Structure formats: structure tokens, C-alpha cells
Structure 1
């Protein structure tokens, strides 16, 4: 006890001598390549000023619950936005890491001045000042517990850093031994670094495997597990459900369906035998990666009372590890680009980064992945989970019990933490992680999850960030994390996608059949509220089945039945005569009783597992054998409890196959689903090159927060940034907005609005006229003439895939395609996403190898219009043909526009027409942004449609940095061609 008090006093004295670190700014952040552009410095300062404001609020009111601050940062593509975000966010994280430790200590101790002041108070009666000894002891105990939290976190973090540095030194030794030239290119050095990391981790894994075999040979007295042939179904019976009022005290857990993804890997005996560091206390990989050790909370189950009085380091969720930066992007290639930017920073050699991806990208077991081009993510997931569900019968102390055993040779519970440590040693993208796993023969998919709690930067796809169940499945907590979302204009659509729910007649009938078999099996053990709710669920399934079959029967007879009807959830329930059902109570029952999981286990024991090789994974009615049909019904029921504003139910009747008839819930208002991110995160950065008008994104993501929408609308009225301006920022504790000009000079960009073609025909690509022969032929002539002038690579963006296919088919018939080929080699955007990289490589080779170059036909809003880098010779010219307005007759779009019209009349925000216009112009601006990728790049941007010049709303929808470089005129094609020739002549002369 005396030693503990002395340690406390020593630490207390140390606090008074420590100075808090200075808050970072663009002038103090070490920036690669010397001084940042003014636009980059302005963006970094805006982000850091906002975080400072939020930090001050949280540090002075630590127990006050608040929603995350929102930062909407727009910086044109090519201005170095990603590098700026990486430098500023990591600088803030490093600052907070040290400050969090000091604040935790300060919160646990009373300063010497305060103690002296309390002793001087003379007006306190001696009786009032007296304190029972047990209270004094308890206060001392609390201080010691806080000190334990601090010491545990600090020592574990120091040990983790020491072990990772040892791994880095091993990698560097191998790299220096095999690097052919110290002055080799950065790309080659990254390649040799990856090879060195693979060599080191393979050597370590082989050593561990050898030790493990020797250890296992010495283990005796353990019986082998044997396959299970007996089925114990009693485990699947639901517990007694007394009443809705007692639902909070039933003690049920909230596990997801038994898909194997939520199970944490248990570390076996080998990790207890192998030491990772020297010191008084021996820490191993599992200890160094343990979230409770890193945040100071310890074992939650054993120290719940201690955790209540001991705040975690940085006030993160207990056992979630360190405070983090969570970076989300739409594609894995965008995540890899951000990982590369992190490597460029001063922290690039030692910051702990992990990328979360799917099994298709990370699984290294060829028996699971097969030919990965042929096997889908669903199929690979099925095979992975199959290997983890091998049933064995084990005996212990005379008792026999059934358990699951993993049959995958890569998923070794002792070696996964070893690979996780090597993943954290150096910043890694998804390709790095996959390569480390394949080379070492350890599962990189589960190792990336094991590394999550110790990671300082986590790179995730949109779905993982936006879905709360997905975050919980991988163990990702956003508490006190800085969340950065790149290309944030895509978030509303991503939320609609992950929040939709579809139940086909096949799924409904499957759930109904399973439920009936289940009730028949346990009828003598089910009573009271269990039978009541099971009956209500059965009633719902029966009514929906009858309704869909009846509609299908009428459609087959030729009766007037709409094949696709959109209704509200309330209207559907009234139609089904189920308006008296209390869906909230049913959902509570499903969650508390875990009926979906029990039905799945019961059904799994009754039926033989299917052979997944012969399953159709592209079938929309496909149901994984690892997921219960009832869990899909449960998700759909939750959607039906949403308000009328949030979404609609589509009744889809198929005339060919009755089992394909379905109900689909469509989310119209994504702001309700974005709330779970706002409720958890410390601050959310919505970044992108095309965020304005800010009110568009604000209406979509936080429409229920009227003050945020009003602030965003006010920031849109700020004057646009002109060429070379540092930026315009509006910083508040709730919402920050920022926009800046482009770093490229006006001389490096030429924009032309082509209203007519070479033959004087007006270029109007409205849907009603775009298929006319004269328009199609005039476009071909324009492309041929421009291709003669533009050197190297030229990208043509067309308004839709169908129009791209129509044009090239027609030009093949008329011979225009041969004339284009005489000027440049033709490439087309591939239909399959897996072929994009190969097409880009081939196009890049031809575009950069000669002045003749190549031409790439792509689609606005397609696979190559966002996140693709067409720098330098890959896009010396970009043609945007027409305006990609969405289909106005689409019922989902019409409902969304109607919803916005009603909302805009009541509150601030955009109306339906403005929303429709913004969707089109945002897609155009994204395509334009593919061309100018850095300050010294140059390109000509040609907008081929008369509406770019004649329609004010279209013109104003273009980015300000581009509008400032061109006048809104009606130039003839000959005039535009002349300007184009002069532009390239000037560039060649200066080059």
C-alpha cells in the first residue's frame, strides 16, 4: 500500500512539471515536399481550428453527451486534398494521444494548491469536516484504480511501440540487404519493402509453428475430438418470455445471426509461452493488441466497478483500444491511395494503420477463393464459414458436448496475432495485407480485425462505417474518433443501399416453414407470451404470402395489376389487415428471445448442408445457409416501423415466377440512418471535390437537424473562391464549411462550350433528340476533328451506358469508328468492375507512349468517372457529351423529389427540382475532375451540348474554378477548334 501511495505522489509531482503540447497548425506540421499550397494550408487550418474548438468543449464538459461536429471541406480534385487531410488529422491524433494521458492523470489527482486552500478554510465546522474512514479508504482506492488504468495503458502502449520497432528494424535489415540501389524510385522501394516484410513475417511464423509442434508433442492426457453424430435440439428452445415490461431484465445477449463473423479469436497456449518483450511484466501479442490494456479499462467482465470510476484513456469505449482516425472511401483503390499519402508524411514509417476489407480481397486459402475472378464475395464467405462450422464431439470430466472447430489451416489462433503485429509495423493498404497473409500462410482477413483495436488509423469501405451492425461485427468503435469520409457526396446513396431490405416470397415461405417445424417440435414447452408472439409472427408471414400469391395469380390471368407499386408501411399493413399488430413489441421479442439464431441452429441440425459449389450466388433469392430466413424477416419488420418520411415499400410482382414476387423497403431519407455515426464520433469530416451546394448534402444527411441545414444554406451564399484564393471557411462548434480554388493556373486549363458541330448542326443531347442520325453523325465528326488536335490521351464521357453502346454500334455501321481509329486507338469502359484496372493499364500505355495516343469512351457516373487518376498524358483532352439527368419517370426519384418539396416548404433545404439538377451537375463535375490532377498538369475540357452555354442553371452548376477560366459564350465549332490548337501549341512551346 505504501509503495502505491509513493508512486501516486511521484506521478502527482511529475504532472506539475509537464507542459501540455502545443496545438498543431499548418505552420508547425511537417509537410512533405516542403511548403504546402496555400489551399492545402487553409484546409489543414480549418480542420484543426474546428477540432480545437470541439476539444475545448469536450475537455471542459467531459460528461456532456453531444452529437459529432460536422466539417464539410470542399477542395477541387488535384489540389492535394488527401495529403492535407492525412497530415492534419495525424498531427491532431498525436497531439491528443499525449494530452489524453495527461488529462487522465490530472483528473485523478488534486493539485497541491487546492489542498492548501481547503486547509485554510476556517468557517468549516470540525464535525462537518470529519469523514468516515471507509470513505477515505474508498477515495484512495479510486485514486489507485485510476492510477492502475493510466499505468496499464501507458506501459502497454510503450511495449507495443517497442515490439513494432523491433519488427521494423528486422524489415529494414532485410530491405537494406536486398535493395539493389539506394537511389531507386519510390515505386521500386515500396516493392522491395513489401518483399522484405513478407520475408520477415514468414520467418517468424515458421519459427512459431516449429515451437508449437514441439509444444504439442509434449502435451499428454488429452483425448482427440471426434465427429458428432448426435443432435441435441433442446438448446434451440427459446427461454420463457414473461412480459414486455420485464424485457430489460431477461439477460439475453445481442449476438447477430450465427455467421461466425462476430466470434473473437481465442488465444491459445502458445501465446502464453512465447514472450514478445523484456520487462518486469511479460506481455505477448494478444496482450499488446488487447483493447482493454491499451485504453486502461482492463477486463470489462472482471472490472466493471473499476471501469465505472476509471475513465479510459481518451474516453473511448472501454476495451475498444486507442483513439482513432477512421477514414472511409467508396472503393478499395481510394483507400489504397490514402494509405500511400500516409506513407508520404513524417509519420509514414511508424503510424499504425490497418485496412478492413472483404474475404475476396484478403483470403489466402485457395480452397476458399478458387479462381477469385469466378467466385463472388458471397460464395467465398460461404466457404470460409463452412470451414469454421465443422462440428466435433468433445468430452471433459465425463461430460460430452458438441462444439465447432475451424478446419481452415490459415486460421490459427496462435499465429493470427503474430500477423496482426506485422500488419501494424508499417502503413499497409489492402494489397499489402493480402500479400503478407498469402506469404506467411496465415489468415489476413481475421488478422486485420485482430489489429483493429491497436490501430491508430483505420481504413474502411463505406458499408463498414455506415452500418452499425457491421461496425459491431468487426469491433470498430467510433467513440471519440475522427471520422473522415472521402467523396462524401456518395454517402446518401450508400446509406440507401445498405438500409434497404428485400423479402421475396421464397424467403417468406422458408421462414414460415421453419417456424412451423420449430413450434411442432417444442409445442409442449412453449407457453404464455412465447406462443402469443410466435402466433403473431406466423400471422404476418401467412398474410404476406397470401397477398403476393393473389397478386401473381391476377397478373397471370391478365387482370389489371400494377407490376410495381410503391406504398407507405402503414398502407401496406392496412392492406394486409395487420394494422393491429404491435411491430415494436414483436421486434423486441425477436431480439430478446434470439429466435432467428435459434431457428437457424434448429434448422441446421434438421437438414444436410447444401453444396455451395452448385448454388446460384447471383440469384436475388439466394439465402446463405449461415443466415436464418427469420433474420431477414426481422430486418424487414424493423424497416416497417420507420416513419412515412423515411421510406416506402415497393410491391414487386413477377409474372414469370411466383417465388420471385417480393416486398422491398426503400430508404428515402438517409439522414435517419446517418444519426448513428453522428451519435458516436468525435468529429466527422465530409470531404470531396464536388460538395457544393453544401445544403444538398446537409439536407440528405442531417435533414432532421434544422440548424445544421440552415447553416449549410447560409454558407452557400458565401462568395465563391476565385483562382488562387486560399479558401473560404466558416468555423463553428456544430458545422464547419470550407471551399477553395484550384492550385492549377489559368494558363493550364482551356474550357470550351461547343454548341454546334463542324457542320453547324446544334448539339442538343436531350433524350428526345440524342438518337437522331444527324446528331450522332455530327458528334462523330466533332470527335474526329478534336482527336486530330489533342495529343496523347483523350477521354470522352457519354451520358449513359446505353447511349455509349448505341453510338459505337452506329459508328461501326457508318464507318465513323474507323476514322476515329485512324487518329487514336479506341478503348471502352468495361462492363465488369474487375476489368477496369486492366483496361486502364492498356489505355495508359498507348496514351503515354506516343503523341497519337489513345481515346477512351467512358460514362458519366460510371466506373471511370470517379476515383480514377487521368493525370498528365492520360487525359490531355476531356469531352463531356450531354447532361446525365436521371430518369425523371423513376418512381423512387419521384417520391424523393416529392418528399423534398414538402420538406422545403416547412424547413430550410433544397426542393425536388434543385435536387434533380444537383444530381446531374455533380456527376458532370466529377468527370471533369479526372483531368487536372496536380498544379503542373494541363488539359482542355470540352462541354458538348448547347445547354452548357444557354441554360443559366447548368452554367452555374459548374465549379467556380472552371467557370472563372471561360466566358459564357456561343462560340462556333471553328472558333473553338482554333482556340484548342493555340492552347496545345503554347503548351508544347513551353514544354
Structure 2
């Protein structure tokens, strides 16, 4: 397909079939945004081929961009040769007003400038042509340099251990393998320049990054779906693409995979790399005793380079990549990172791209590159959650005791700077527990808080409140990162938790106090205060937990944000162990600004992006982006307008006005009216009818009421009733049975007339589940799912936005936020029904407040354009019945 570009040139968009008009519009606008270096917000409903449009539009631009660069280089070279020849054939008859020596000087200067420009272009071209060949050599240099530094560090550590052991009397003797737990000498404050120089040296041997597109999505399955679309596209054979994933998703070492949690897998992977080099050092030192340590057989540079080359042979998703890695016995995690510089498309989870330190560690460079963030409706929440942090009193106490034990064990072997920073961390932990009203010397499970409640403080106020304002948190954070103290501490606790003999400790002043509490933490089946995601069964059957200090490091890092960008919530409840400190990130734009600053262009795309004001105000304009750089695009659906019937219903069958506010929704007459509406809809809606309630609490209240009044029994006569399960593991089972009943009801003599599914907005079935065709012929939204405005976090967010953003049509920014959160949830839920061109469904919004123009404007365009407002139930029922009659479905008179 060919369309006219903004510059009146013809742009070719290869497509696997004849694209829909909305796909042509999408690709044309996307091409324009990338060409002009702007930031685009693109909305294209699910089922309209959004992924394929993104692929063909962006790769067509990349193809043309690279061709223009080649043509420009050729033109510059041609111009240089032409001007050189022209300078030799200057018309000597033309009189010159300048002296000869000036003319000659200018001529020579122009000639030299042109020669330099030509040489520069030739050099750039040569470097590009030799890029793939140079990568192996460059990475070998980098790999060797990194290995040399690690070996030097290990030698120094072993020498230190030998000196300590030979000196005698300086602390207890170290057990086998324990020397790796001791912190090495820390000199980062003085060696910052040296480290920067080493980083620059590493950059010198790294390969130049070609212009590329970073494609990000939220989940692993969405990324796999994108890869499959890329494989089927016209660009699938010629594009160099690589998929990135975490160690948890890409590790092929079964011994490491069995650890389960991401943090444990990361730590074991790095430890095994280190062991590989430490073994060589011990042999070179001529030791008779060789320590047998586990090394990773897949961490082979030659095999990883071979796998890197295989990545570019054809586009692969993570599963295909892991399968290939097992065959060639190479690590896909590192092989894919070697492939980033030469790749044209990099496919990755957007958490990996949006988190600054993760981005740098992965080798991702955004300078002058293109970033496409798909499924971006939760982007603000993702960034906010990524840079927020919460730590319980139990975790603070556990980390304090572990670190105190570590310091006692290795005090004589630690340099002064290490001891200084450890004491500072212990001081911080003690004060943080004090801020919760506790004492680190006592069991936090038995320390009752004086008064329950939540107090919200600015960062500076919290630092004064907890009496740690005299500590340089930036230096402490840098120390934690560079010394890897949390990993050392985790190894320390792992070693002595599973050992037969415990760590030598000072006797506790109170029996059954903190030491007994910590001993219980190490041996009972469930660790208090540690998230389930950080637990894993160890060799002795007891749970293995990542050190709580890792979680605390995130909290310390959060406290280094600017005072106005976040708040600290002091949450006191029950005991000190149950209480917590939570950092709430209020300004996600400060972190997204780094992406906007570096990239040539950023595209934020999704099936449902309305309302877009949140993205514009909170992410883009707040990050300093000029409004004229922002482009909005929203396309319709591929379905014909007659295939969708959205209705705002203001009143029920008995003329009871529908208003599901907190004050009115529990009234018996309101719940009865809702039941009557569903009973009538069950008469005319074929297949599946999906009902969304605003919360689990209200779903329980209204279903219990219907059970008492007998409505549930009457509904079950017409459609089999299903309810969203409480456990995520049961979702597939419920959906499978729901689907089976609907298929049976479509057959002659089948039972009932379909099924009725009760779900919750924001629950397990409001996002990611497709109710296509007969699975969702009608979606009913009961009320408006406003968030809990009493939440301290939400109140502070509203106050923050009121302070930094202007009013919109007289409405405060905080109030706009509440409406936007509500309508985002609604849009995600009602968009579950229409999934492809031949699909059709009715959408019924039960609440008269949906008829307000400001609320209607926040619906997706393809729904808003067809929405009918029905003040009374009769006309609404008639429209629904006629809609399905036209689709040649069943029709039953109303009750």
C-alpha cells in the first residue's frame, strides 16, 4: 500500500493483506510522528490490528530513514568530488575583488574542509559496514577487561583473608567459602573519577548502536504476541530483532531456575560467574587445596556469541530463544544483550526500559532512538509503583539484627570505611523502627503501637522526624549499590541458617526477645513481614528469603528524590512488625523525562487510552515537554457502526433513577431495580451476558440481597450464573465452564439461553480476558467505579495535582484525576466484548451520571460516537431487543 506522506512523497507500507482504512490512517500518522521527532499518543481498539499497524508503520519509517542516510552519504561524497573538480576549472577571466593570496587561502580552506568532511563520511560508512565483524572483537576486549578486574578483586580478597588468618587472634577463623562474604575495601568516594574512567574505557570498546526501535509492552504474553505478528509481517525476514527478558524468564540452568524468585536467581547467576574466575585464581596461586564451587556451564563467551549471531538469522520470541540456547548450550540472557547494538528492533518489558538502573545494566541506549510503548493504559501506575517503596517494621528489625551479626562476625576483617557505612545503615534502621514507635532491641511482634493511623510527611519532614537528617543518603545509597552489601548479607544468612552450628552471638538481655524472634523467622514455615514473592524453599525445606536489606535499599533510594516529588506514609497498625513506612511517588514525570530527553521519538499506544489528559499532563507536560510536540491519534473500530449498541440507562423499569453513589447504592429499591433490569436483559440477550460491579464488597452485598429476594433463582432459570472466583488459579476453570455452557445453549435443544457472569471492575476478568462473540453479547456496568477517595495516598495525589496543574473547565486537577481513574477502569471493562470485525455486542451503562458531557467525552471514540442516552427503561429495552433481532438471534418478550 502507498500513501502520500506529509512531504508529498509516496510512502510504501508493506502489509500482509489489504489494510483497513483506519490502519492506513494509523500507519500514516505514526510515520509522520517518527519523521518529525514528536511524541504520539495512539489509541486503536483491540481487534483493529494495532500491533501489525505499529510494525509496518514504524519499520517502513526505519527502512526509509536508513535509505535516506545512505543517499545523503552518497550525495556528500559526490558533492565533494564535484567541488574538487570545479575548483580546478575556475574561470580565470572572472575579475576578483579579493587579493590573490586571500582567494587562494579560501580555496585551500574550502578544499581542506571538504576533504575532512568526505573522510569523516567515509569513516562512518566504513564503521557501519564493518559493525557486525567488529562486534566479536570488541566484546572480547570488554569481556576480558571485566574478567581481569574481577580476578584482581578476588586476588585482593584472598590475600586479605590470608593475612587475617596468618596474623592469628583477629576474630574467628573463616570456614570454607566464607571469605567471599567479607566486604572488600571500599574506596568509591575517592575513586569516583577512576570508576568513570573505567566506564569510558568500556564505552570505547563497545560497538556503535544503529538506529533502532525499542518496542515495549506490559506482559510476557503480549511481547510474544508482538513477535509472532512481526514474524508474519512483510518485515519478518529482513529485520534484525532481539527479545529481552529477565533471568527468571531466560535462564536455562535448571539448578538456578529451581530457586524460583527473581532476586535469588539474579544473585546465584552473578555468584556462579564469580566462582568461574575465582577457581582459576586459586589454581594460579599454587594452592594444593582446590575449592569445588558451582559454575554455570552455559556462561561461555564463544557459545554466547554464536547464539547472538543465531538471534539475527530469524525473529524469535523468548520461548524459541530459550529452546535454541539449550541446543547450543549458551546463556540467552547475556547473548541477547550482546545483540542490542546491531539490532533494529529490541522487544522488551516496559519495566526494563522505564527503570533507569535496569536500563543501564541491560545495555540499553536511548539516545536518538525510537521507543514504542504498547498497552500503555497503566503506564502512569507502573512508573509510580516502580519508584515507590514500602518496608514493614518486621523487615527493618530483621535487617538490623542480620547486619549487626554480620558486623560482629567480620569486624576485625572490615576496613574502616566499611565499618563506618555499616554503622550508618544500622543507625538508619534503628531510627526507622523508632519512627514506627518501636525499639530494635525488642521483638517487634510484641511491641504494640501507641495509636493506630496513617501520618503523611514530606521527605524532608520525615528525615527530621526520624532524626536521620544528618546522614548523607546519597553516599549510603551509592555504598549499598557498589559494595553489594545486601548480597553479601544474604549469602551470610544463607550459609549460617542452613549450618549445623549457629553464629556466635552476644546473649540477649531478655529471653524470648529479638534473638528468639529472629531464630523463629529463620525456621518457621512462613516468614513474617517478607512478601511471598521473596520466599522459596531451600535445601532443608525451610523457606529461603531474600535479605530484607534489599527491600530497604529501595526505600533509601526513594528518599533521595526531590522533596516535592514524593511523600512518606507512616502507617501504624497493631504491632511494630505490622506497621510500615511507605514512600509514595507523586511525580512519575521526573523519571519519564529521561526517556523523553534522550529519544528521537516516543509513541504511547494502547487499545483504550481515554482519557488522555492524564498522559499529557502527568507524564509529558510535567516532564517539560512542549505541547506542540504532542500528537494525539484515535481511530475507530473495524466493526461497522451497526454492530455496537452502547446505551446510558438513567432509570429502571419502575422509573427508579439509577444513581449508585456510596449513599444510595445499598438501598433495597436500588438493588431490586438493578435485578429487574438484568432479568429483562436476560430475555433478549443471547449467549453470554457479563455484569461488572464497582467492587467485590458491593458485589457481595447485592448478590446476598438477590438471594434473599429470590431474584437469583429467577435469573438462574434463564441463564446459568457464574461468579468471578477469588483465586486467580480458578479463573481458567470458570471461563472454561462458562464457555461450554454458552456453546451448548447455541445448539438446538440446548439448555437455557446462555450464561450470566458476575465480575468486578479491576478484578481478574476486567483486563486481559476476551469475551468475543457469544461469550459477551452484552456487557453491563453497574454504577461508576470511583476509587476510594478516603485513601491517604489518593488524597495526597489529588492535593499534589491541584498544586501543580491548572483547572480544566473550572474543575480541579484532583477531581479530574478521580474521574479519569473511574473512566479508565470502565473503558477497560467494556472493551472486553468487541474483539474482531465480525463481532457485535451491546454495552449498557447503569447510572444517570454517565450522561454528563464531561463523562461521555472520556469514553473511547468508537463507543462514544454510537452511544444512546435513554432516560427511561422502555425505549432502552426496545433498542436492545431490536438490535439482537436484526442480528437474527432469539427474541423473548419482557417479563
**Could you say whether these structures have the same fold, taking a TM-score greater than 0.5 normalized by the shorter chain as the test?**
yes
CA contact (8 A) 2:371 2:599 kept: yes
> Residue 831 of structure 2: which of 929, 935, 948 is its match?
929
* Partner residue in 1 for 2:12: 28
* Partner residue in 2 for 1:355: 243
1:791-830 equivalences under 5 Å are 791-812=686-707, 814-830=709-725
> Per-residue deviation at 1:452?
4.4
CA contact (8 A) 2:611 2:859 kept: no
CA contact (8 A) 1:104 1:150 kept: no
> Residue 83 of structure 1: which of 52, 56, 74 is its match?
52
> Per-residue deviation at 1:740?
3.1
CA contact (8 A) 1:511 1:630 kept: yes
C-alpha change, 1:118 and 1:834, in structure 2 (3 Å) is farther
Give the distance between the partners of 1:551 and 1:905, measured in 2 at CA.
45
* Partner residue in 1 for 2:674: 779
1:378-397 equivalences under 5 Å are 393-394=279-280, 395-397=282-284
C-alpha change, 1:592 and 1:118, in structure 2 (3 Å) is farther
1:309-458 equivalences under 5 Å are 318-319=206-207, 321-358=209-246, 361-362=249-250, 393-394=279-280, 395-400=282-287, 406=294, 415=303, 418=306, 421-433=309-321, 448-449=336-337, 451-458=339-346
CA contact (8 A) 1:671 1:701 kept: yes
> Per-residue deviation at 1:849?
5.2
Give the distance between the partners of 1:860 and 1:402, measured in 2 at CA.
60
2:131 matched to 1:229?
no
CA contact (8 A) 1:795 1:855 kept: yes
C-alpha change, 1:251 and 1:799, in structure 2 (3 Å) is same
- CA deviations on 1:840-874 (whole Å, 9 max, x unpaired) are 45444443454333333222223332343333333
1:200-211 equivalences under 5 Å are none
SS at match of 2:563: coil
* Partner residue in 2 for 1:492: 380
C-alpha change, 1:24 and 1:88, in structure 2 (3 Å) is farther
- CA deviations on 1:606-644 (whole Å, 9 max, x unpaired) are 775899996759933886889665554443223222223
CA contact (8 A) 1:537 1:586 kept: yes
Structure 1 unpaired stretches of 5+: 1-20, 55-68, 159-227, 256-299, 308-317, 712-731
Give the distance between the partners of 2:240 and 2:727, measured in 1 at CA.
34
CA contact (8 A) 1:334 1:867 kept: no
Comparing 783-792 and 514-523, the one that deviates more: 514-523
* Partner residue in 1 for 2:351: 463
CA contact (8 A) 1:75 1:739 kept: yes
SS at match of 2:467: coil
2:531 matched to 1:620?
yes
2:455 matched to 1:565?
yes
- CA deviations on 1:397-449 (whole Å, 9 max, x unpaired) are 44459999655666666555555555544434445445656788876555555
Scaled by the length of structure 2, the TM-score of the pair is 0.77
2:867 matched to 1:945?
no
SS at match of 1:579: coil
> Per-residue deviation at 1:343?
3.3
Give the distance between the partners of 1:152 and 1:609, measured in 2 at CA.
54
> Per-residue deviation at 1:47?
1.5
Give the distance between the partners of 1:324 and 1:975, measured in 2 at CA.
54
> Per-residue deviation at 1:498?
0.9
* Partner residue in 2 for 1:977: 877
C-alpha change, 1:748 and 1:647, in structure 2 (3 Å) is same
> Per-residue deviation at 1:970?
0.3
1:945-964 equivalences under 5 Å are 945-949=847-851, 951-964=852-865
CA contact (8 A) 2:448 2:574 kept: no
Please give the root-mean-square deviation of Cα atoms over the aligned residues, in Å: 4.6
CA contact (8 A) 1:623 1:629 kept: no
2:400 matched to 1:542?
no
C-alpha change, 1:935 and 1:139, in structure 2 (3 Å) is closer
SS at match of 1:659: strand
> Residue 744 of structure 1: which of 610, 631, 639 is its match?
639
SS at match of 1:238: coil
1:123-162 equivalences under 5 Å are 123-124=101-102, 146=124, 148-153=126-131
* Partner residue in 2 for 1:45: 28
- CA deviations on 1:358-391 (whole Å, 9 max, x unpaired) are 4555556666656x9xx66567667777877768
* Partner residue in 2 for 1:575: 465
CA contact (8 A) 2:649 2:869 kept: no
SS at match of 1:490: helix
> Per-residue deviation at 1:753?
2.3
C-alpha change, 1:587 and 1:953, in structure 2 (3 Å) is same
C-alpha change, 1:558 and 1:301, in structure 2 (3 Å) is closer
2:72 matched to 1:72?
no
Give the distance between the partners of 1:531 and 1:386, measured in 2 at CA.
24
- CA deviations on 1:27-56 (whole Å, 9 max, x unpaired) are 52122321x3332222211121122223xx
Give the distance between the partners of 1:619 and 1:520, measured in 2 at CA.
24
Give the distance between the partners of 1:842 and 1:954, measured in 2 at CA.
36
C-alpha change, 1:693 and 1:366, in structure 2 (3 Å) is same
C-alpha change, 1:513 and 1:32, in structure 2 (3 Å) is same
> Residue 195 of structure 2: which of 251, 256, 272 is its match?
251
Give the distance between the partners of 1:237 and 1:382, measured in 2 at CA.
18
- CA deviations on 1:773-810 (whole Å, 9 max, x unpaired) are 33334323322321221122322222123333444455
* Partner residue in 2 for 1:199: none
CA contact (8 A) 1:880 1:943 kept: yes
* Partner residue in 1 for 2:767: 866
Aligned residues: 798
Give the distance between the partners of 1:547 and 1:367, measured in 2 at CA.
42
- CA deviations on 1:179-215 (whole Å, 9 max, x unpaired) are xxxxxxxxxxxxxxxxxxxxxxxxxxxxxxxxxxxxx
> Per-residue deviation at 1:884?
0.5
Give the distance between the partners of 2:124 and 2:775, measured in 1 at CA.
58
Comparing 351-360 and 641-650, the one that deviates more: 351-360
Comparing 229-238 and 874-883, the one that deviates more: 229-238
Give the distance between the partners of 1:145 and 1:964, measured in 2 at CA.
56
CA contact (8 A) 2:87 2:107 kept: no
> Per-residue deviation at 1:89?
0.8
> Per-residue deviation at 1:495?
0.7
C-alpha change, 1:141 and 1:751, in structure 2 (3 Å) is closer
- CA deviations on 1:522-580 (whole Å, 9 max, x unpaired) are 76787887666555444323322333343899998877523322211111111122333
Give the distance between the partners of 1:835 and 1:413, measured in 2 at CA.
44
* Partner residue in 2 for 1:472: 360
> Residue 790 of structure 1: which of 680, 685, 706 is its match?
685
> Per-residue deviation at 1:747?
1.6
* Partner residue in 1 for 2:170: none
CA contact (8 A) 1:504 1:621 kept: no
CA contact (8 A) 2:30 2:57 kept: yes
Give the distance between the partners of 2:216 and 2:660, measured in 1 at CA.
36
CA contact (8 A) 1:327 1:460 kept: yes
Comparing 97-106 and 856-865, the one that deviates more: 97-106
